[in-house]
Structure 1
Amino acid sequence: MTALLLGAAPRASGTVHGVGALLAASLLTGVVRRLPPAALALALLGSTAAVVGPPSAAHAIPTASYQGEFLGYLAVDLVLGIVVATRTRRASVIAVAVSFLVQLLVIGLFAHGDNLSVNGLIALLAMAASCAAGLLVRERREHAVALRSREVAEAVTAERLRIARELHDMVAHSVGVIAIQAGVGGRVIETRPEEAREALRAIEATSRETLSGLRRTLVSLRQADRGTAGPERSPAPGLADIERLAAATGDAGVRVEVRRGGSGRPLPADIDLSAYRIVQEALTNVVRHAGTGSCRVTIDHGDEELSVEVVDDGRGITGDGPAHGFGIVGMRERVGLLGGRLNVGPRPGGGFRVAARLPLPAPGGVPVKVEAR
């Protein structure tokens, strides 16, 4: 291609030779994209043919004006940069070595005196620039791939932690209630069968609710994996379900007093779910570890933050208490993801306290007053 474009203009300036070579290289676009080594070989062949040219033309041109003839190798340097950017390091080294040897040989045969050193330096600089550009493109592409891989790994880890928190908070509470109800039923089944039947009904209801939550989580995971919306699922729990959670905890033998205060307004789904899960985990710990018959849940809707507190007057942390499980770890992760604060620890007068403060976005409407109770 280069030979056809430049062969008809043997007396053209070096700039014309360089532009013609680049125009000829553009004709190899399809080959460059699919087979860069083959495109490099064609560019080398065409540029060399244009340089050596017809013998009569070479002898007719003075040596000083013949210097620009070697700019035809700009097409070779362009393709060489693409090879370095897209092929393996071994293929790139071979391509650079072959291009360097061919250009050095041709320049050595057809340039003399000062022209030899000038043309050799120009060829070397042009080749170095094309290789440097190719290496830069390669490094940027590899860096982008590595960055994307790290982002994917971090996203997978975050999703695994989220699923672990959801399963722990949902299953731990339900299993704790079921275990206590089963113990109650086993103790009174002979003497008070009606109370035993109530315990079995509570176990059945809690089991069904847990299975529904697990099914919702699994359906969500399958749909996310397939990238389909699928049928509409039941909504995730939130602070509106605290009374139902308190009733289930009461069936397990711990009476829950719920107090609400502040100006209530619709909450973002992630804050609503996290607040519910924090209360759920705190109540699970009360049922399993506190050894008390009552506790208090306080929910306060502030202008800038949502406050959730669960306190009891039980025995606090014991050797196998909640501080040694995953519940409090999950609470801290939830609060940390929302930029909030969590205080967990024994109360000075006895018992245990869990308090979370979650920042709220700026209100978008008129708040609805929620009466404390």
Structure 2
Amino acid sequence: MKLLKLVPDNTNINFLKLRLPFYIISLLLMAASVGLVLTKGLNLGVDFVGGQMIRATFTQSQTVPVGDLRETIGKLGYGEPILQQFGKPNEVSIRMKLPEGSDQQPDLANQMANKITAAIKVGHPDARIDGVDSVSGKVSGELFQTGMLALGLAMVAISIYIWIRFEWQFGVGALFALLHDVTLTIGMFALTQMEFDLNIVAAILTLIGYSLNDTIVVYDRIRENLKKYRRMPVPELLNLSVNETLSRTVVTSLSLLITLLALLVLGPNVIFGFTAAITLGIFVGTYSSVYMAAPILIWLKVSSASFVPTETALDRQEKLARGESPERP
């Protein structure tokens, strides 16, 4: 029985033919993502902004009675609640600022949560409280700083590793590809206003790992081919390398997407944002390995000489002593 091959052995797609248009599109998307973050901002979860978050489901209603719910909570005197659909149309996330003095008296936050949940149950008997989370403002600020620091340090450490393993051009290419992937993923959260919390930071770190893995596979094949085909033009060599690793890339990405799509459709709402981030990351990570990480090597002047040891004067003298012809510098 002949095995099914998603990518034929003789595949020869000229990926780098459209490298300039794709780079322009990617740079525009990155700029748009940054613009969305600056203008619309991120819908930061309680993990990052502090406060009380109550998740509720109205089991006997198709949609959340937003007006009545806002009025019910507003009468308690804790300020204006932030209501947001959470998952299905009849599920809602209620966010409240912590009451003054809650840093010194943690019981104040618990009292506020109890009063709000009690008022919801009285005013809306079909309401089911799914969860209550509370994070202080000081802790949430520290979480946001450490989360962003983790993303930055991960990308820098990865670039240094690739720099040491390959050449500095490869480190720059990998860092740019990772920056591209992270920027577009964060831009999606700014566009959709899905909640951005610690789960999403974990998803982005997972995305960085996947994108790096795919990029290293391509870079390793490029390095091998630079040593093997020293006279081949660099664009042609990069195309050859990408095509040779295409089968592995397609199989890996499809395997992950099958699982992720099942989680998106059938999985719990609690991990929807996490799953959506990784799903988008699979697409942009695969794309960046081909159209970001590889073409940039042309503009950074990578050549076969990058991996050929330079012959020193001592090497030439030793070759002459052995009766060999030294290489011309």
Interval of TM-score (by shorter of Structure 1 and Structure 2) = under 0.3
- TM-score normalised according to structure 1 size: 0.25
Larger radius of gyration: 1
More contact order relative to length (CA 8 Å, sep ≥ 6): 2
